[in-house]
Amino acid sequence: MNQTQIDELRAQSVPAFQHLIDGKHVPASDGQVMDIISPIDGQVLTTTAKGTKTDMDAAIASARAAFEDGRWAGQPPAARKKVMLKWADLIEANALELAVLGVRDNGTEIGMALKAEPGSAAATIRYYAEALDKVYGEVAPTSSDVLGMIHKEPVGVVGAIIPWNFPMMIGAWKLGPALAMGNSVVLKPAETASLSLMRMCDLALEAGLPSGVLNAVTGEGAVVGETLGLSMDVDVLVFTGSGGTGRRLMEYAARSNMKRVYLELGGKSPNIIFADAPNLDEAAKVAAGGIFRNAGQVCVAGSRLLVEASIHDEFVAAVAKAAEGMRVGDPLKVDTHIGAVNSEIQLNANLGFVETAKSEGGHVVTGGERILKETGGYYMAPTIVTGVDQNATLAQKEVFGPVLGVTPFTSDAEAIQIANSTVYGLAGGVWTSNLSRAHRMIRGVRTGVMHVNTYGGPDVTVPLGGVGQSGNGADKSLHAIDKYVNLKTAWIKL
């Protein structure tokens, strides 16, 4: 990463973005646009098309036509693989440009953005490209006078609704397996962070993906997202975002064609620190990184710190020291540890959570306020609140900001009980040198992913998905492919 190159890229003006429909860039049907505000300085960066129902209907129709005529699904797997591998190469070749563009509308610090966005997106697309010609059907163990076969067929048109925290990475988690299996996709990026993902879609076409197989429509969730959710012509809906929107998508499915809906929602993930952790200093630094990187806008963020009572004060002091050592500021500076909060609305919501925590008996050890206001950007100091009761708002509701709540515990059983006391179940961590205890925690804490003596970092080879109100249907790994295929039985009398 080179600061001069980054500065050159940020000096470039960003053109107005349009939809990608049927292989062409097109404006909204009524010509309307939305301002894209950069969280770095609060200034208008560019505009995107403000999609209408007509635009979304056109994108869905294009995806349906592309699927029905087999221009992608009908290609030999080796041909699809070649296109997807080329796409991954193009993402990698343009990584810095994509990362800087993405940071300019979403605010993630560039160090993390470069790795987690184009880096991870390219790896994901490549993983599913390599997997696509290794997905076999099955022959059933029938009696000798019949042949029972199970075919795996693409579902048809996939609608994918993407959030603003990691648009390229999360976009690739859906696009990789969906396109690999031969489906067509209609993508709906988030209002406030769409630019890098839209560029990534252009690169797919440059790599040879036929027109119409991948369409992307920008605009408001309540307009174009709803149209996608209610469509009679979308077969599967995949989503990452808030629980409220997830609930709506299930309603849309029920009110329309009962399409399958897969949701990756929020979390309130417990990071559990035992006194016998192998290295408490390391645990403190990783705990701070696990909640404060990307300003806490990470679905798996370890937002609840459960600390064994005997080390509570010293451990909290170590996490506070680590937090205070993290540089908050311009996300396009290579030495920034924590970038901008994505929007002013989100920043105010974060600050509201801190006020509520205080009114419920919490004590702010560090942070708790907006900083660098003079830049015009949306920055918040990493915040640690102790004395958080397991039933307090800060222990129960997802903030999606750089706010860590600390709760002490005195036994393994109590740690598990507190860990499981929310409606969520996305991620968790445990720090201990005791192997049996680590395994008991893995079994006892209800989550989709449990870290041991680390936090964060699982790659594309393993699933990420929640239990409870954190969602259903994991992204990543070969298991994700199941969401994008139908099983068809052929029963043949011999």
Report if residue 253 touches ligand ADP, rule: CB under 6 A: no
Q: What is the DSSP-derived secondary structure letter of residue 224?
A: I
Shortest gap between Cβ of 19 and ligand ADP (angstroms)?
14
Shortest gap between Cβ of 242 and ligand ADP (angstroms)?
4
Q: Are 347 and 366 in contact (CB under 8 A)?
A: no
Number of residues written out for the chain: 494
Distance, CA of 281 to CA of 107 (rounded, Å): 29
The one among 88, 114, 161, 351 contacting ligand ADP by CB under 6 A: 161
Report if residue 167 touches ligand ADP, rule: CB under 6 A: no
- List 109, 117, 191, 264, catalytic entry: 264
Shortest gap between Cβ of 168 and ligand ADP (angstroms)?
14
Shortest gap between Cβ of 356 and ligand ADP (angstroms)?
18
The one among 71, 82, 115, 248 contacting ligand ADP by CB under 6 A: 248
Report if residue 398 touches ligand ADP, rule: CB under 6 A: no
Query: What does R_g of the chain's alpha carbons equal in angstroms?
Result: 23
Task: Please say which residue, 193 or 284, places its beta carbon nearer to ligand ADP.
Answer: 193
The one among 75, 242, 356, 486 contacting ligand ADP by CB under 6 A: 242
User: Which of the stretches 39-47, 74-82, 183-191, 432-440 binds ligand ADP when contact is defined by CB under 6 A?
Assistant: 183-191
Distance, CA of 162 to CA of 121 (rounded, Å): 14
**Residue 106: strand, helix, or coil:** helix
Task: Please say which residue, 241 or 429, places its beta carbon nearer to ligand ADP.
Answer: 241
User: Which of the stretches 28-36, 122-130, 178-186, 238-246 binds ligand ADP when contact is defined by CB under 6 A?
Assistant: 238-246
Report if residue 222 touches ligand ADP, rule: CB under 6 A: yes
Shortest gap between Cβ of 342 and ligand ADP (angstroms)?
8
**Residue 19: strand, helix, or coil:** strand
Q: Are 266 and 398 in contact (CB under 8 A)?
A: yes
Token digits of residue 58: 């056109």
Q: Residue 264 catalytic? A: yes
Task: Please say which residue, 58 or 318, places its beta carbon nearer to ligand ADP.
Answer: 58
Shortest gap between Cβ of 265 and ligand ADP (angstroms)?
8
Spatial CA neighbour of 475 closest among 271, 197, 177, 218: 177
Q: Are 291 and 283 in contact (CB under 8 A)?
A: no
Report if residue 226 touches ligand ADP, rule: CB under 6 A: yes
Q: Which position has the token pair 């449990």? A: 450
Report if residue 221 touches ligand ADP, rule: CB under 6 A: yes
Contacts of residue 469, defined as CB under 8 A and 6 or more positions apart, other chains included, come to 243, 265, 266, 423, 424, 425
Report if residue 381 touches ligand ADP, rule: CB under 6 A: no
Shortest gap between Cβ of 339 and ligand ADP (angstroms)?
16
Q: Are 465 and 119 in contact (CB under 8 A)?
A: no
Q: Are 385 and 405 in contact (CB under 8 A)?
A: yes
Report if residue 301 touches ligand ADP, rule: CB under 6 A: no
Distance, CA of 141 to CA of 147 (rounded, Å): 8
Shortest gap between Cβ of 291 and ligand ADP (angstroms)?
17
User: Which of the stretches 25-33, 112-120, 144-152, 241-249 binds ligand ADP when contact is defined by CB under 6 A?
Assistant: 241-249
Distance, CA of 221 to CA of 65 (rounded, Å): 24
Amino acid at 134: K
Spatial CA neighbour of 20 closest among 68, 59, 69: 59
Report if residue 299 touches ligand ADP, rule: CB under 6 A: no
The count of residues interacting with ligand ADP (CB under 6 A) is 16
Neighbours of 57 (CB within 10 A): 17
The one among 118, 159, 163, 270 contacting ligand ADP by CB under 6 A: 163
Report if residue 191 touches ligand ADP, rule: CB under 6 A: yes
Q: Residue 299 catalytic? A: yes
Task: Please say which residue, 206 or 251, places its beta carbon nearer to ligand ADP.
Answer: 251
Distance, CA of 474 to CA of 292 (rounded, Å): 24
Report if residue 225 touches ligand ADP, rule: CB under 6 A: yes
Task: Please say which residue, 253 or 280, places its beta carbon nearer to ligand ADP.
Answer: 253
- List 201, 299, 308, 398, catalytic entry: 299
Task: Please say which residue, 178 or 311, places its beta carbon nearer to ligand ADP.
Answer: 178
Q: Where are the alpha helices (DSSP H) in 293-373?
A: 312-324, 344-359
Shortest gap between Cβ of 288 and ligand ADP (angstroms)?
23
Chain-centroid distance of CA 413 in Å reads 31
Per-residue H/E/C for 228-251? HHHCCCCCEEEEECCHHHHHHHHH
Distance, CA of 89 to CA of 98 (rounded, Å): 13
Cα 427–Cα 429–Cα 434 angle in degrees, nearest 5? 145
Task: Please say which residue, 194 or 407, places its beta carbon nearer to ligand ADP.
Answer: 194
Task: Please say which residue, 35 or 206, places its beta carbon nearer to ligand ADP.
Answer: 35
The one among 104, 126, 174, 188 contacting ligand ADP by CB under 6 A: 188
Distance, CA of 68 to CA of 158 (rounded, Å): 13
User: Which of the stretches 126-134, 221-229, 359-367, 426-434 binds ligand ADP when contact is defined by CB under 6 A?
Assistant: 221-229
Task: Please say which residue, 212 or 241, places its beta carbon nearer to ligand ADP.
Answer: 241
Intra-chain end-to-end CA distance of the chain, in Å: 63
Residue positions annotated with a catalytic role: 264, 299
What residues line the site for ligand ADP (CB under 6 A)? 161-164, 188, 190-191, 221-222, 225-226, 229, 241-242, 245, 248
